Amino acid sequence: MSCPLPAGFHALPLPIVQLSLAAVLKCGQSFRWSIFPLSSGTLPPSYPTHEYRLCLRDRLICLRQSPDTLYYKTVLPPRSTHTSSINDGETVKEETLAWIRDYFQLDVDLVYLYSDWSKRDPVFRTFRNRFEGIRMIRQDPWENLVSFICSSNNNISRITKMVTSLCEHFSPPLLSLPPPELYPELLASSLVSPPATPLSEPSLLRSSQQENIPQDDSLWTYHPFPSPAALASSSVASTLRSLGFGYRAEYVQKTAQMLHEAHPPNSKNVDGAEKWLKTLRSMPTDEAREVLLGFMGVGRKVADCVLLMSLDKKEVVPVDTHVYQIAMKHYGVSPSSKTKSKGKIPMTPKIYDQVNTKLAEVWGDYAGWAHSVLFTADLKSFSTYGLDAPEKMPTRSPSELLVGLPTPPMTPSPSPVKTSGKRKKSAVPVQGASGILDREISIDGGLQVDLGLSLAERVKKRRRVSTSR
């Protein structure tokens, strides 16, 4: 059954080997996408299973994906203050499509890159088919910078929660929207049922609070990411601390203040800081890195994440202890003397450069992209990703398990069971004619002992067997 075009959506032919939303939007690159399962049942293979939404400054982007098509829709705020041109349907469609192509960097042939990495690297080759469609997204540098300042000593779920709180407290809502409609033709035919719970993909989606998943059919309110000006005030830090940002609160506020003071909005209210950050894309990698390292809370790894994910530095491999372990295990990077002696993994500048250089040699110009595939493959939340769901074993009663089995005698024979001398496995419980499960275990020598006997009776039985031998 082919999937009809969802209402309000446009179709972009795009095979999943070029882009897998289920992986790319949940592997720790971006933290603001909300995800709506479209059914709690099994959908036909050609039907999208989820809808993904992201709030920009002027619109809400909605995406769905089938194996060969990316569906996209734009939702504008009800009382738009935009010029009349943006409300023209064709213009809106073209702008959203241009944003999608830029954000997902669809000009890069991912199939070619996977083939190249597989030729270069036998380790990558083992992950190629299971983790297809993982590419780097091209984020807004300001949002990317703040998100990864929040990533220090953190995990994806907590970063997602922090970024969501940041938007809700410092950015006015753009619009509210109910959950997506299901497939009316499938509901009418009873092929699928409405989602009983949002958590239909537990390997990727941990909890509704942590992963931006709506819990019910009420309206879902969307906030754009706040500007540097909105976070520059000194009072912001205390609010962020109350929201659980900890020591990162000052880092976010101070960085926003530095950018806002150096690059204030212009007369047209265009944020100068955000515009200036995009100019780092044209800088050499080393120079852009030095600029980023000048901000509060930005170390080498955070700077490299921003270089890779929003500033077009595709060769950069962000290195942490996790990536260092991968490099030692698979790519011949020697452990430091401290690692050998204490079992700890100190991330020194020398080690960082060593790992970065080695992985760049293995993977080439797009080393940062290749790194994201192996990084995703090693995430705990992706442990079952790309694997066929195991068939559920039916739950059966003991009597059902006995169908076709012979009925055992009421009392075990006192004669010993001769074996080849190897220890036998524990006997499978079976049900006797009396309806009571006979419980037997085997011991060295092949003797089977009935646990229903008393200790004295079992001792006597063993003596009789020994005598008969």
Predicted confidence at residue 378, as pLDDT, reads 87
Separation between Cα atoms, residue 412 and residue 439, nearest integer Å: 10
- Look over the chain and give the mean of its residue pLDDT values, rounded to a whole number: 80
Asked which of 72-81, 321-330, 336-345 is least confident by mean pLDDT, the reply is 336-345
Q: Which residue has the higher pLDDT, 88 or 160?
A: 160
Q: What end-to-end distance do the CA atoms of the chain give, in Å?
A: 71
Selection from 204, 177, 184 nearest residue 39 by Cα: 184
Q: Are 259 and 226 in contact (CB under 8 A)?
A: no
Q: Are 440 and 448 in contact (CB under 8 A)?
A: yes
Bridge partners of 437, per DSSP, are 431
Predicted confidence at residue 46, as pLDDT, reads 84
Q: Which residue has the higher pLDDT, 278 or 398?
A: 278
**Helix, coil or strand: residue 341:** helix
Q: Give the side-chain half-sphere CA count within 13 A for 303.
A: 18
* Residue 110: both structure tokens together: 């991912």
Mean pLDDT, range 65-78, rounded to an integer = 95
Predicted confidence at residue 450, as pLDDT, reads 47
Bridge partners of 89, per DSSP, are none
CB burial of residue 235 (10 Å; 0-12, 13-18, 19+): exposed
Separation between Cα atoms, residue 355 and residue 49, nearest integer Å: 38
Selection from 140, 155, 152, 150 nearest residue 28 by Cα: 155
> In this model, does residue 367 exceed pLDDT 60?
yes
Predicted confidence at residue 303, as pLDDT, reads 98
Q: Are 48 and 75 in contact (CB under 8 A)?
A: no
Band of pLDDT at residue 335, cut at 50, 70 and 90: confident
- What's the pLDDT tens digit per position in 145-182? 999 999 988 999 999 999 999 999 999 999 999 999 77
Q: Are 62 and 53 in contact (CB under 8 A)?
A: yes
Q: What are the CA-CA distances from residue 420 to residues 63, 177, 231, 444 (Å)?
A: 65, 72, 78, 11
Predicted confidence at residue 416, as pLDDT, reads 39
Element (H, E) at 359: helix 349-363
| Catalytic-labelled residue, pool 161, 301, 313, 314 | 301
- What's the pLDDT tens digit per position in 387-405? 765 544 444 433 333 333 3
Separation between Cα atoms, residue 317 and residue 305, nearest integer Å: 8
Asked which of 187-191, 276-280, 295-299, 342-346 is least confident by mean pLDDT, the reply is 187-191
Band of pLDDT at residue 45, cut at 50, 70 and 90: confident
What percentage of the chain reaches a pLDDT higher than 90?
57
Q: Is 301 an annotated catalytic residue? A: yes
- What's the pLDDT tens digit per position in 414-432? 333 333 433 333 333 333 3
Q: Which residue has the higher pLDDT, 422 or 225?
A: 225
In this structure, what are the phi and psi dihedrals at residue 319, rounded to the nearest 5 degrees?
-120, 130
